[in-house]
A and B are shown apart, each in its own frame.
Chain A
Amino acid sequence: MTDLAATDPLPKPRRDLAPILLPIALALVMIPLVGSPSTWLTLTAASLAMGMMIFIMASGLTLVFGLMDVLNFGHGAFIAVGAYIATLVFAPFVASVQADSLWVNLAVLAPAALLSMAVSGALGLVVERVLILPVYGQHLKQILMTTGGLIVAEQTLYALWGPQIIPMPLPTSLRGSFILGDVAIARYRVLAMLIGLAVFIAIQLVLNRTKLGLLIRAGVENREMVEALGYRIRRLFLGVFMTGSALAGLGGVMWALYREQVHASMSDELTVLIFVVVIIGGLGSIGGCFIGAILVAMVANYGGFLVPKLALVSNILLMVAVLMWRPRGLYAVTSR
């Protein structure tokens, strides 16, 4: 039964600010616990940078989850492939990577990132057509197929590049830190924050200012009704899947530079973090994914500093706490 007649005024929509305030509150609470303001600033900057990288990797997965209810446990393969492709671009241009000029460094880094995204996106096309298309709507088979795909991808990388860890040094101009008083903020972390923020803004613009974005948002909420309006959501999903794969590839390059190394199972440590972010953010919610990624990174950094042993389980504890507060995630979009 309706609560309002057609002519009654609408209640003012309430802005749900609590999830946005959560990382801010967490950061403020940490000031006295960490003690030193400079350490706190360093940890906060590290959290934001790490959060942005995780967000880039997780943003595609949350849309894939929300839009088509597909459990892609092989998302990490795109991360590793992206990182390996970047090493191919870096190898012949070692001198440019070591040059003491930001523009020369970026002239190698940008094509490496773009090529990694292109290859990961193309791999996404193959994975969606070959592995996921036959198992739509069958969660157990999706898990088996995508996990199998991840294993095949990792073993293929081992076969092609060998089992050794491949070093991936940061370009010279991205080494070192910006010094603000007695606070040092690593240059690369600032770049990671800027790229993450740019990706977030770009996704928000597409989702909120374009018809394609309208379709994605509507599809996340009720894909059946989108089809009943005459839109082929499978094609839309393929596009989202490829974009998500490409973003994972970009995230892989950034993570490899952050760790300064590449190996075939590099995504193993990230997959858990990415799933935690997607779940606590709310399936299909880019805003939730963004805040979730920052929270996960904050808990990892502050937790690792204050109680190192707790770092092993801190993200699971965070997920439990968030889901007890909001069982469908910070910003629930879909009821699946």
Chain B
Amino acid sequence: MTDLLKLSGVHTHIGRYHILQGIDLAVPQGQVTMLLGRNGAGKTTTLRTIMGLWQASSGEITLDGMRIESRATPDIARLGVGYVPESMAVFSDLTVKENLVLAARDAAMDDKQLEWIFGFFPALRRFWLSRAGSLSGGQKQMLSIARAIIEPRKLLLIDEPTKGLAPAIVMALIECLKEIKRKGATILLVEQNFFAARELGDSVLVMDNGTIVHRGEMAALAADVPLQERLLGLSLEAHQ
């Protein structure tokens, strides 16, 4: 399996803080790679550095064999990288429709893709012309993910999509992400919810203090409680 995304020796500084301290990781094509770690380990910084929202101080980032670490965020997005930030970042002053129109960029929205999205997130059809700011947290998360998949993307970077959501909505999100995965998408997913991580992840990377401290199969980590305790401070079961 080829690697769609590779980071080699990536360092990121934010102000005088040295956050990423030589990250080496690979995200295989067509797989869901989980990025786990304690709060403050550098997971969000890793996604933002890949997206160009924070500039890597040194190191190489390649997407499909192309160096991207010096590229601007809009260029990286146009290479086919979709980003779902932790904060959801829907445009609350715009309607659901307007949010998706912007995400579709130059193309008109694909009706089949839209119907597929509505199949998972019927609320988006119902509130099509409502301001995104008036949606609930779960509905905003649905919109944020819909925005990332309204166009075909090579790679999806998703930051804690289930954070703070009701269990029923978490299940709907997991089903949606599973379906995106079945369609062959490549995803780098930051997630604290063990159930979601176990359901979705093919491989796993664990971060601590700005470095990757473990890489392997998600199933193997899920089955190894002592390893979970050593890497994450407590067993993943405790996160459920």
Contact = CB atoms under 8 A, between A and B. Distances in A.
A207 to B, nearest CB: 10
B168 A217 contact: no
Nearest to B166: A2
Contacts of A233: 74
Contacts of B123: 6-7
Contacts of B169: 2, 5-6
Interface in A7-60: 7-8, 10-11, 13
Interface size class of A (residues with CB under 8 A): 20 to 34
A151 interface: no
Interface in B39-62: 51, 53
A65 B106 CA distance: 27
B164 interface: yes
B127 A10 contact: yes
B74 A5 contact: no
Contacts of A220: 93
B74 A227 contact: yes
A2 B101 contact: no
A233 B136 CA distance: 28
Interface centre among B74, B78, B92, B122, by most chain A C-beta atoms within 10 angstroms, is: B74
A68 B139 CA distance: 28
B101 A211 contact: yes
Contacts of B78: 230
Contacts of A221: 91-94
A232 interface: yes
A3 interface: yes
Interface in A276-318: none
Interface centre among A1, A2, A10, by most chain B C-beta atoms within 10 angstroms, is: A2
Contact of B172 (A6, A13, A227): A6
A225 B172 CA distance: 24
A5 B136 contact: yes
B102 A218 contact: yes
A7 B131 contact: no
A80 interface: no
Contacts of A217: 91, 93-94
Interface in A197-234: 211, 214-215, 217-218, 220-222, 224-233
B74 A6 contact: no
Contacts of B98: 214
Nearest to A4: B136
Interface size class of B (residues with CB under 8 A): 35 or more
A4 B91 contact: no
Contacts of B168: 5-6
B53 A224 contact: yes
A230 B73 CA distance: 7
Contacts of B77: 227-230
Contacts of A227: 53, 72-74, 77
Interface in B113-152: 121-123, 127, 130-131, 134-139, 142, 147
A8 B123 CA distance: 8
B30 interface: no
Contacts of B103: 229
Contacts of B134: 10-11, 13
A228 B147 CA distance: 11
Contacts of A229: 77, 102-103, 105, 147
A242 interface: no
Given A6-B142, A10-B135, A214-B101, A232 B74 contact: yes
B102 A214 contact: yes
Contact of A228 (B83, B101, B137, B165): B83
A6 B73 contact: no
Contacts of B219: none
Contact of B91 (A1, A5, A211, A222): A222
A2 B139 CA distance: 9
Nearest to A1: B164
A231 B74 contact: yes
23 contacts: A1-B164, A1-B165, A2-B139, A2-B164, A4-B136, A4-B139, A5-B138, A6-B172, A10-B127, A11-B134, A13-B130, A13-B134, A211-B101, A214-B102, A225-B89, A225-B91, A228-B73, A228-B89, A229-B102, A230-B74, A230-B105, A232-B74, A333-B93
Given A5-B138, A221-B93, 17 more contacts: A1-B164, A2-B169, A4-B136, A5-B168, A6-B122, A6-B169, A8-B136, A13-B130, A13-B134, A214-B102, A218-B91, A221-B91, A224-B73, A227-B72, A227-B74, A228-B51, A228-B53
Interface of A: 1-8, 10-11, 13, 211, 214-215, 217-218, 220-222, 224-233, 333
In order of increasing CB-CB distance, the 10 nearest A-B pairs are: A4-B136, A230-B77, A2-B137, A227-B73, A225-B89, A218-B91, A2-B138, A6-B123, A2-B136, A230-B78
